[in-house]
A and B are shown apart, each in its own frame.
Chain A
Amino acid sequence: MGVEGIGASVVRKEDKRFITGKGRYVDDIKLTGMTYAHFIRSPHAHAKVKGIDSSAALQMPGVVAVLTGRQIVDDKVGNLICGWAITSKDGSPMKMGAWPAMAPETVRFVGQAVAVVIAESKNLARDAAEAVVVDYEELPAVADVTAAVKAGAPQLHPEAPGNQVYDWVIGDEGAVDAAFSKAANVVKLDLTNNRLAPNAMEPRAAIADYDAAEEHFTLYTTSQNPHVARLVLSAFYNIAPEHKLRVIAPDVGGGFGSKIFIYPEEMVALWASKKVGRPVKWTGDRTEAFLTDAHGRDHVTHAEMAFDANNKILGLRVKTYANFGAYMSLFSSSVPTYLYATLLSGQYDIPAIHAEVIGVYTNTTPVDAYRGAGRPEASYLIERMMETAARQLKVDPAALRRQNFITQFPHQTPVIMAYDTGDFNASLDAAMKAIDYAGFADRKAKAKADGKLRGIGVSCYIEACGIAPSKAVGSLGAGVGLWESAEVRVNPVGTIEILTGSHSHGQGHETTFCQLVADRLGVPISQVSIVHGDTDKVQFGMGTYGSRSAAVGLTAILKAMEKVESKARKIAAHALEASEADIVIENGEFKVTGTDKAIAFPMVALAAYTAHNLPDGMEPGLKETAFYDPTNFTFPAGTYICELEVDAGTGKTSFVNFVAADDFGRLINPMIVEGQVHGGLAQGIGQALLEHAIYDANGQPVTASFMDYSMPRADDLPSFKLSHTTTLCPGNPLGIKGCGEAGAIGASAAVINAITDAIGKNNLEMPATPDRVWRTIHAA
């Protein structure tokens, strides 16, 4: 692997600028003549906009313009789209209401923009916004998913009667009914998967700059996928043709999915920049982030699992209501369907599965992909179910899992996915050993003697990453292909630039992607740089989400590297007067095997560019491109086990131990992987114990600041013990599965299973706040 190659825990190249305050984020960028936008947002969850009086605001100092939803609609800026078409069980397409970038007539969630003030400074824009008078006529609102589907509930969109976007099914209902009819035992479970606010450290921001002479826009934005943003802004929102729109996503401070989507604020900034003839900057504040960044999760589910007399699973039946909020965000429709129900087999051999998912509008912030996106919901459901079943069947929960594990690969589940490889026993064994599972009963008894409630909880998760084979997702309704592109540019002196469609917003690509090059050529990573996040520099690419950057993005780089190496090998062979087949690459040199003849890589590069002595017919230069489309999803899997104590007096949970045994396939940089797992576990534990985006019955958010929304802090978390069991992914040449979301997917069930074990009661919803746990302990 070499000191900087694949498998080396190389210190992150990008951290010098981040930890010394030299990162360059959207808000750090200042353009000449720049104006500032402040949005006027609805304080009501549901209301008619009767009128907007901006006359007083327009008289205030420094105000450039006040623009409204009516104007943006009149200017034919397109409505926001949802990019994945889902078909209901009756064959009808999903039913969606229009989502204009600013509301001309009706607001449907607190925080929806109705107008924007453009002014000479941020503060002047804010001052003027207070002078804009919006006349609202309040309408009844509904925030809760189960309330929204009831007869007589307030209706959000005339296009979606009953607030129902779709009623989608997957699996063989007849086979499931047959399985249940012969079941010896049926286990039932009702669960809520709590709504979360993503809370990336950097709030969203945008700067739009219209060049009238060139009829060209530049957009600086906090995006995980700038090319997709450009595509959507061009093709659907009528901003400008793609070649007249440059999208730059510079340093971005975290995304977790929330920065995949194209939001109204970017659209308005672009449109406003042309209208006022000056650059327009908008930087969201934390309140706006809580109100307008797409939320995650929010499911209500009933599930039943059938077992035979030997505790072998026969079938699984699931019905889920998914809250989409007030509008269908870019990929929202796919999250509770193809990213959720396709993982309901978990790590288990389940012969029959049927799931029904009802997508529902409510007067809340739109919901879309958030770290894990559908897979945490599936994993939580299946792992709570296995624990519940073990308790009901009075068997050891680890043993019940082991008995039902899939052990033969490839394995076709009844819900589309074909697992390529894995070793679920290995990760369960590793985790059980790490936490001394066998010794738990003694520890629990000792804790009891000390007046403590101790519990242990297992979670065996599997997820689908490396998103995704384009043909497969296309057949399921995706509006885009999910391949990735790369370009490897070797400079004449042998330094290398990797241009990638992946986008790094915390993942460490500037280090890990260089490690591949170091591994293949034996050059130091200091000679390699990563270029990303600019549609003018990088060819079309799909961006970073779904733990795809290594499995898909890095594989695209590998494919381009192979082309570069092939050409370089020919040049070296020609220069060394050797056969191409005899050339080997070692420590930055191209050598003739078995001889001391060698040419350093920079000299090969120089030869390519001087072109004085190239093989006949060879083009000068050393630069190659590749597009890589994966053949399958990848399937990271593992076991998390949590041991904790509950304080019966207060309901407070304290961790004793938390172990993770993950199978991510090949690791590029184990240190970065460790960081990814830590972050994911923090978010999974955050969901289990702390985080909850709450609305009151009228759709008013009650957790729109960190004073009310509990973000996990370091002292809320245990020290994690991580380990890896590895089966290489056969689907890509590097054997990579992906590690970005696993922690968030697997952790919450382990925590809740441990708490319910400790308190001896199975029914407990997330977040397991001390009040809720205390109430559950003391409930009759």
Chain B
Amino acid sequence: MYQTIYHRASSVDEAASLFAKGSEAKFLAGGQTLLPVMKQRLAAPSDVIDLGKIKELIGIEASGDTLTIKAATPHYDVATSDTAKKAIPALAYLASLIGDPAVRYRGTIGGSLANNDPAADYPAATLALGATIKTNKRTIAADDYFKGLFSTALEDGEIITQVSFPVPAKAGYAKFPHPASRFALTGVFVAQTKSGEIRVAATGASQSGVMRVPAIEAALKANWSPSAIDSVSISASGLLSDIHGSSDYRANLVKVMAQRAVAAAA
């Protein structure tokens, strides 16, 4: 690790102002990506600004038809939260599948979404549920937020403060974990909104990061059942291919995981 200056911010405003002062500052949430990268000397931030201890960034609330998770809430809290489990059980289930216990105690929803790893779990739920990402500057709709691999609509220095998920009529998540990293080799989140819209998002599969899957959405719109997806054909074109999963295998997983997500949806 290269030398860096660590700051523990006590408020979002303080974090933003520390960021503005640093020459190559980075925000630290759970550190599940940034710290390993720094240890490998692949990142050399001048300043590391820890958001993880900012009280206003931690918490889970349900109000009306919205479940709001504050950005520095760790995955473990979401996975075990009665509020989250009652409002959107598929989301709490998704959180329970992230990494391993150590990762779930440290990793946060805000960190996951800001990093936008193409195989992370939260982007699938965020996109499929049509969530709203609130920052210290604005609110961004999920449909406008994800911009490709490790790329988002966030501007330099912008801090996610919370994510608001509309409570769906039904939602389900099925994940096929990467055997080594336990990220999603492919994970599919399916949701039926209260207004009847069908949204399906797959993570881990596409070269462009999390993606909607219109063919499966159309099939489920006609018939919300696993068998409705039987006839859907997913193209391997544009999908990731590596030693753990070829693109045609991932295309198969998009379909199979979607079927299992529908079967599990509640």
In the complex the two chains form, what is the Cα distance from A709 to B242 in whole Å? Answer: 12
Q: Does A236 contact B (CB under 8 A)?
A: no
As a 0/1 sequence over residues 242 to 263 of chain B, the CB contacts with chain A under 8 angstroms (1 = contact) are 0111100100110010010000
| Minimum CB distance partner of A771 in chain B | B249
Q: Does B64 contact A (CB under 8 A)?
A: no
A771-B246 CB under 8 A given contacts A126-B41, A650-B256: yes
Contact, CB under 8 Å: B245 / A708? no
As a 0/1 sequence over residues 141 to 154 of chain B, the CB contacts with chain A under 8 angstroms (1 = contact) are 00000000000000
Which of A650, A651, A694, A703: most chain B CB closer than 10 A?
A650
Contact, CB under 8 Å: A771 / B245? yes
Contact, CB under 8 Å: B243 / A702? yes
Q: Does A459 contact B (CB under 8 A)?
A: no
| Minimum CB distance partner of A127 in chain B | B2
| Minimum CB distance partner of B248 in chain A | A775
Q: Does B180 contact A (CB under 8 A)?
A: yes
Q: Does A18 contact B (CB under 8 A)?
A: no
Nearest chain A CB to B184's CB is how many angstroms away? 13
Residues of B within 8 A of A694 (CB): 243
Q: Does B176 contact A (CB under 8 A)?
A: yes
As a 0/1 sequence over residues 652 to 684 of chain A, the CB contacts with chain B under 8 angstroms (1 = contact) are 100000000000000000000000000000000
Residues of B within 8 A of A329 (CB): none
Residues of B within 8 A of A123 (CB): 1
Which of B1, B180, B259: most chain A CB closer than 10 A?
B180
Contact, CB under 8 Å: B176 / A650? yes
Nearest chain B CB to A195's CB is how many angstroms away? 13
Q: Does A649 contact B (CB under 8 A)?
A: yes
Residues of B within 8 A of A775 (CB): 246, 249
A709-B180 CB under 8 A given contacts A703-B243, A769-B244, A771-B249: yes
Residues of B within 8 A of A64 (CB): none
Residues of A within 8 A of B180 (CB): 690, 703, 706-711
As a 0/1 sequence over residues 750 to 780 of chain A, the CB contacts with chain B under 8 angstroms (1 = contact) are 0000000000000000000111001100000
Number of interface residues of B (CB under 8 A): 17
Nearest chain B CB to A58's CB is how many angstroms away? 20
As a 0/1 sequence over residues 166 to 202 of chain B, the CB contacts with chain A under 8 angstroms (1 = contact) are 0000000000100111000000000000000000000
Contact, CB under 8 Å: B179 / A774? no
Which of B2, B244, B259: most chain A CB closer than 10 A?
B244
In the complex the two chains form, what is the Cα distance from A461 to B256 in whole Å? Answer: 38
| Minimum CB distance partner of B3 in chain A | A123
As a 0/1 sequence over residues 266 to 290 of chain A, the CB contacts with chain B under 8 angstroms (1 = contact) are 0000000000000000000001000
Chain A interface SS verdict (over half)? loop
| Minimum CB distance partner of B36 in chain A | A707
In the complex the two chains form, what is the Cα distance from A692 to B242 in whole Å? Answer: 13
Residues of B within 8 A of A770 (CB): 176, 179, 245, 249
In the complex the two chains form, what is the Cα distance from A126 to B2 in whole Å? Answer: 10
Nearest chain A CB to B51's CB is how many angstroms away? 24
Nearest chain A CB to B175's CB is how many angstroms away? 11
Contacting B176 at CB < 8 Å: which of A126, A652, A710?
Answer: A652
Residues of A within 8 A of B245 (CB): 770-771
Residues of A within 8 A of B249 (CB): 651, 770-771, 774-775
Residues of A within 8 A of B243 (CB): 692, 694, 702-703, 708
As a 0/1 sequence over residues 697 to 708 of chain A, the CB contacts with chain B under 8 angstroms (1 = contact) are 000001100111
Contact, CB under 8 Å: B179 / A769? yes
Q: Which residues 206-254 in B have Cβ within 8 Å of A in the complex?
A: 243-246, 249, 252-253
Q: Which residues 99-141 in A have Cβ within 8 Å of B in the complex?
A: 123, 126-127, 130
Contact, CB under 8 Å: B179 / A690? yes
Contact, CB under 8 Å: A649 / B256? yes
Contacting A710 at CB < 8 Å: which of B2, B179, B256, B259?
Answer: B179
Residues of B within 8 A of A703 (CB): 180, 243
Residues of B within 8 A of A771 (CB): 244-246, 249
| CB contacts between A and B, total, < 8 Å | 49
Residues of B within 8 A of A127 (CB): 2
In the complex the two chains form, what is the Cα distance from A167 to B15 in whole Å? Answer: 66
In the complex the two chains form, what is the Cα distance from A708 to B243 in whole Å? Answer: 8
Residues of B within 8 A of A651 (CB): 249
Residues of B within 8 A of A650 (CB): 176, 252-253, 256
As a 0/1 sequence over residues 87 to 122 of chain B, the CB contacts with chain A under 8 angstroms (1 = contact) are 000000000000000000000000000000000000
In the complex the two chains form, what is the Cα distance from A711 to B100 in whole Å? Answer: 14
Residues of B within 8 A of A710 (CB): 179-180, 244
In the complex the two chains form, what is the Cα distance from A771 to B248 in whole Å? Answer: 9
Nearest chain A CB to B257's CB is how many angstroms away? 8
Q: Which residues 1-15 in B have Cβ within 8 Å of A in the complex?
A: 1-2
| Minimum CB distance partner of B259 in chain A | A649
Residues of B within 8 A of A702 (CB): 243
In the complex the two chains form, what is the Cα distance from A720 to B1 in whole Å? Answer: 41
Contact, CB under 8 Å: A707 / B181? yes
In the complex the two chains form, what is the Cα distance from A707 to B185 in whole Å? Answer: 12
| Minimum CB distance partner of A716 in chain B | B179
Residues of A within 8 A of B179 (CB): 690, 710, 716, 769-770
In the complex the two chains form, what is the Cα distance from A651 to B244 in whole Å? Answer: 12
Residues of A within 8 A of B41 (CB): 126, 130
As a 0/1 sequence over residues 715 to 757 of chain A, the CB contacts with chain B under 8 angstroms (1 = contact) are 0100000000000000000000000000000000000000000
| Minimum CB distance partner of A130 in chain B | B41
In the complex the two chains form, what is the Cα distance from A709 to B179 in whole Å? Answer: 9
In the complex the two chains form, what is the Cα distance from A651 to B186 in whole Å? Answer: 14
In the complex the two chains form, what is the Cα distance from A694 to B180 in whole Å? Answer: 13
Q: Which residues 559-612 in A have Cβ within 8 Å of B in the complex?
A: none
In the complex the two chains form, what is the Cα distance from A702 to B242 in whole Å? Answer: 10
As a 0/1 sequence over residues 36 to 79 of chain B, the CB contacts with chain A under 8 angstroms (1 = contact) are 00001100000000000000000000000000000000000000
Residues of A within 8 A of B176 (CB): 650, 652, 770
In the complex the two chains form, what is the Cα distance from A716 to B182 in whole Å? Answer: 12
In the complex the two chains form, what is the Cα distance from A586 to B176 in whole Å? Answer: 61
In the complex the two chains form, what is the Cα distance from A650 to B251 in whole Å? Answer: 11
Nearest chain B CB to A721's CB is how many angstroms away? 25
Nearest chain A CB to B159's CB is how many angstroms away? 27
In the complex the two chains form, what is the Cα distance from A652 to B1 in whole Å? Answer: 38
| Minimum CB distance partner of A648 in chain B | B256
Nearest chain A CB to B40's CB is how many angstroms away? 8
Residues of A within 8 A of B1 (CB): 123
In the complex the two chains form, what is the Cα distance from A451 to B177 in whole Å? Answer: 22
Residues of B within 8 A of A652 (CB): 176
Residues of B within 8 A of A708 (CB): 180-181, 243-244
Nearest chain B CB to A362's CB is how many angstroms away? 18
Residues of B within 8 A of A709 (CB): 180
Which of B179, B180, B252, B259: most chain A CB closer than 10 A?
B179
In the complex the two chains form, what is the Cα distance from A536 to B253 in whole Å? Answer: 59
Which of A652, A708, A709, A716: most chain B CB closer than 10 A?
A708
Nearest chain A CB to B69's CB is how many angstroms away? 26
Which of A126, A690, A707: most chain B CB closer than 10 A?
A707
| Minimum CB distance partner of B179 in chain A | A710
Nearest chain A CB to B188's CB is how many angstroms away? 12
In the complex the two chains form, what is the Cα distance from A703 to B244 in whole Å? Answer: 11
Residues of A within 8 A of B252 (CB): 649-650, 774
User: Can you add 19 more A-B contacts, CB < 8 Å, to A709-B180, A770-B245, A770-B249?
Assistant: A127-B2, A649-B252, A649-B256, A649-B259, A650-B252, A650-B253, A651-B249, A690-B179, A703-B180, A706-B181, A707-B181, A708-B181, A708-B244, A716-B179, A771-B244, A771-B245, A771-B246, A774-B252, A775-B246
> Would you give 21 A-B contacts (Cβ < 8 Å), ordered by A?
A126-B41, A127-B2, A130-B41, A287-B40, A649-B252, A650-B253, A651-B249, A690-B180, A694-B243, A703-B243, A706-B181, A707-B181, A708-B180, A708-B243, A708-B244, A709-B180, A770-B176, A770-B249, A771-B244, A774-B252, A775-B249
The 9 closest A-B pairs by CB, nearest first: A710-B180, A649-B256, A710-B179, A771-B249, A707-B181, A771-B245, A708-B180, A694-B243, A690-B179
What residues make up the interface of B, taking CB atoms closer than 8 Å to A? 1-2, 40-41, 176, 179-181, 243-246, 249, 252-253, 256, 259
